[in-house]
Amino acid sequence: MSSVSPCSTHFLRTNPEKHGVPRTSGPKATGQGREKELQKIQEYRALVDTVNTKIHQRQYTNDVLGMTTRLLETNPEYYTIWNYRRLLLRSFFENATPSTSGTEDSSNKYSTVQQYITDDLAFLLPLLRKFPKCYWIWNYRLWLLAEATRLLPSPIVYQLWQKELGLVGKMLTLDSRNFHGWGYRRQVVSALEQLSVAMGSTTTSMTEDEFAYTTKMIESNLSNFSAWHRRSRLIPRLLSERNASHGERREFLDEDLALVQRALWADPDSKDQSLWFYHQYLISNFKSGSPQDASIILGLSNEDKLAYLKAQIDDLLEMLDGAETCKWIYQRLVELSLMSKSLNDRWPVEISDLEKWINKLLELDPLRKGRWQDLRKQILP
């Protein structure tokens, strides 16, 4: 992603982006308002020039740090200023790094580094509320925590990361589909698990808790793509850590198939794709040659796979009644039929049905017309 130019006026008039709502410019300023805006731009440019000069002169001071704060509060997408801030803090950290001269001296210097980091984490909070989808804020916050991990004792670092888990939980409560927040949460959980190992904790995995969290978020919003995706990534590890038997894995698969099918039945003609993608993940377990490390159930016989596929086809055909304009149902029917044929070289439905479904896809999904035409040539005699 490219930065917003320091000379751009757009950032002075944009509203914070909400999920699914693009940023839009406010009303154009006229008269006196225009003059005030031009003055702000001139002040901003002058501040940028001052910061550039002082950084090039290696004036790594608190005053310069304050200048970067003012710039980032105005334009958090100017990534060069974030890099300047890293240079400043790295300089402060080096000057405060504990020596080996004594316990008290080390404790004081650890405290200094911790204070710099906690102050900067606090500085970022209002920016995250105002600009929750700005990459540079999230990246910089992770950098701060990585520096804490590098420089501070593990118990202190663990507390910082633990607070981050609470913070990202609150942010996802406000916007449950913010993929920045979900990505950040994954990294926070990974850091906490690694720290638990380093500290010799008897409980190091957070997989069970995170899986329960995805269930909670899905139940509050079925269209949460990030929650469904996170769930799919957790499942293989979850079952492995549980040392789940074949029967337990099969029961798990049945329960999740029932979960997503109930959600699809609630609104089969929905334009939302997240449920269909998760359904695709589940049925991939019946695909010939599916990767073992991503599978929910292992060692399923072809006979069992065919039985599952037939049940899914029957359910979708029933769902189709009243949802004849949902292209996802036709697409999934074709995919299931192809999977079934790959297992026993026989179509599970009449060729005329396949032709009808592909023709509906050509009608409902014209952007992929070439794909459906090629598929029709492969299937139909």
CB 11 within 8 A of CB 75: yes
Residue 156 in this model has a pLDDT that exceeds 90: yes
Burial (0-12, 13-18, 19+ Cβ within 10 Å), 235: buried
- Note the helical H segments in 242-368: 246-266, 274-283, 302-320, 327-344, 351-364
Question: Which of 1, 294, 313, 299 is CA-nearest to residue 135?
Answer: 1
Q: Please tell me the predicted confidence (pLDDT) of residue 252.
A: 96
- Residues 6 or more apart whose CB falls under 8 angstroms from that of 88 comprise 60, 61, 64, 65, 68
Copy the structure tokens of residue 123: 């500085």
Q: At what angle do helices 135-151 and 79-96 cross, to 10 degrees?
A: 10
Q: Please tell me the predicted confidence (pLDDT) of residue 153.
A: 94
Q: Please tell me the predicted confidence (pLDDT) of residue 298.
A: 83
Q: For residues 268 and 247, which has the higher predicted lDDT (pLDDT)?
A: 247
Token look-up 């039945």 returns 265
Kindly report the pTM of this predicted structure. 0.83
Q: Please tell me the predicted confidence (pLDDT) of residue 2.
A: 40
Q: Which of 15-24, 281-290, 344-353 has the highest mean pLDDT?
A: 344-353
Copy the structure tokens of residue 197: 């190992």
Find the range with the poorest average confidence among 131-140, 189-198, 286-295, 326-335. Answer: 286-295
Q: For residues 95 and 69, which has the higher predicted lDDT (pLDDT)?
A: 69
- Average pLDDT on 183-198 reads 96
Residues comprising the chain, all counted: 381
Phi, psi of 21 (to 5 degrees): -120, 115
Q: Rounded to whole angstroms, how far apart are CA atoms 210 and 203?
A: 14
Burial (0-12, 13-18, 19+ Cβ within 10 Å), 246: exposed
**Number of C-alpha atoms within 13 angstroms, CB side, residue 5?**
5
Q: DSSP string covering 197-246, please? A: HHTT-S----HHHHHHHHHHHHHH-TT-HHHHHHHHHHHHHHHHHTT--H
CA-to-CA dists, residue 7 to 45, 51, 57, angstroms: 7, 14, 22
- Average pLDDT on 355-365 reads 96
